[in-house]
Structure 1
Amino acid sequence: MEQRTDFLTFSTADLDAARAFYRDGLGWTPLLDVPGEIVFFQVGHGLVLGLFDAEKFAEDLGVRDAPIRGVTLSHNVEGPEAVRAAVERAVAAGGTVLKEPQEAAFGGYHAHVADPNGLVWEIAHNPAWSVQPDGTVRLGLIG
């Protein structure tokens, strides 16, 4: 299998709250929105985030319950002020701050915010992270 991910799809207990958070609060444009079932957002070069109604998600998997556990999505920004601004916008859209903006162990600056369904986002500034013109990610530690 080719080393690539095309979709990140998460079970979502409240699809309407998730839609409002991402579309109305963060200003993202849905790629496809199927009310009562799933909403997709393109989040990168060839990468789509899917938020799937929890009951429909479990049906699709053929299981009774499919909770989210141990997942963090990350969004990198240009500096500490941009981290603070993104956290403020996420909170205004119904998010909950789990970790206030602060210096990070990796040497940058970051915060953690949960969306209305508990999906955790790390909003970070890491000067050692970059994306090359060909899409290759360079990731390092600062210091």
Structure 2
Amino acid sequence: MEPRVSLITLGVSDLERATRFYAECLGLPRIETPPSVTFFELGKTWLALWSRESLAADAGLAPEGSGFRGFALAHNVRSPAEVDALLERVAAFGAKVTKQGHPTDWGGYSGYFTDLDGFLWEVAHNPGFPHV
């Protein structure tokens, strides 16, 4: 397998609401798609939003499930102030800030939020991370 992630698909409860959050709140660049799915281009990786039921059916799984999913998506920014500003912005759009921005033991600054469907995101300033 080549070392890359091509597509991240999130199974969402309300596609229109989730699309608005990712487009209007996070400002992700949307790609023209059919009405049943939304794609955003994130450089060489795309983010897809698809109904939770459709994604589960496609994978041959039941759509039930909640709580901690065992992973987090992460977005690195240029400064601690950008961490705090983004956490404030997502909260204003209805996301839940689960951990406010704070200095970390690895020399950075980070906080967490869950999007409107409960997907966990870390927002971090890591002075040693090359991709910002």
Q: Could you say which residue in structure 1 is the equivalent of 2:121?
A: 121
Instruction: Decide whether the 8 Å contact of 1:20 with 1:93 is kept in 2.
Output: no
After TM superposition, the structure 1 = structure 2 runs for residues 63-102 of structure 1, keeping only pairs within 5 Å, are 63-65=61-63, 67=65, 69-102=69-102
Deviations 1:86-132 (A, max 9, x none): 1111111221100011111222001101110011110000101113x
Q: In percent, how many aligned pairs have the same letter?
A: 37
Q: What is the total number of aligned residue pairs between the two structures?
A: 130
2:54 counterpart letter in structure 1:
K
Of the candidates 48, 60, 70, which is equivalent to residue 62 of structure 1? 60
Secondary structure in structure 1 of the residue aligned to 2:70: coil
2:76 counterpart letter in structure 1:
N
2:31 counterpart letter in structure 1:
L
Unaligned residue ranges in structure 2 (runs of 5+):
none
After TM superposition, the structure 1 = structure 2 runs for residues 1-143 of structure 1, keeping only pairs within 5 Å, are 1-35=1-35, 37-44=36-43, 46-65=44-63, 67=65, 69-131=69-131
**TM-score using structure 1 length:** 0.82
After TM superposition, the structure 1 stretch with the greater mean CA deviation from structure 2, 91-100 or 20-29, is 20-29
**TM-score using structure 2 length:** 0.88
Secondary structure in structure 2 of the residue aligned to 1:16: helix
Q: CA RMSD in A?
A: 1.8
Which whole-Å CA distance do the structure 2 matches of 1:66 and 1:10 have between them?
A: 14
Shift in Å at residue 10 of structure 1? 1.7
Which whole-Å CA distance do the structure 2 matches of 1:108 and 1:72 have between them?
A: 17
Shift in Å at residue 66 of structure 1? 6.2
After TM superposition, the structure 1 stretch with the greater mean CA deviation from structure 2, 60-69 or 2-11, is 60-69
Distance 1:88 1:124, change over 3 A: same
Secondary structure in structure 2 of the residue aligned to 1:99: strand
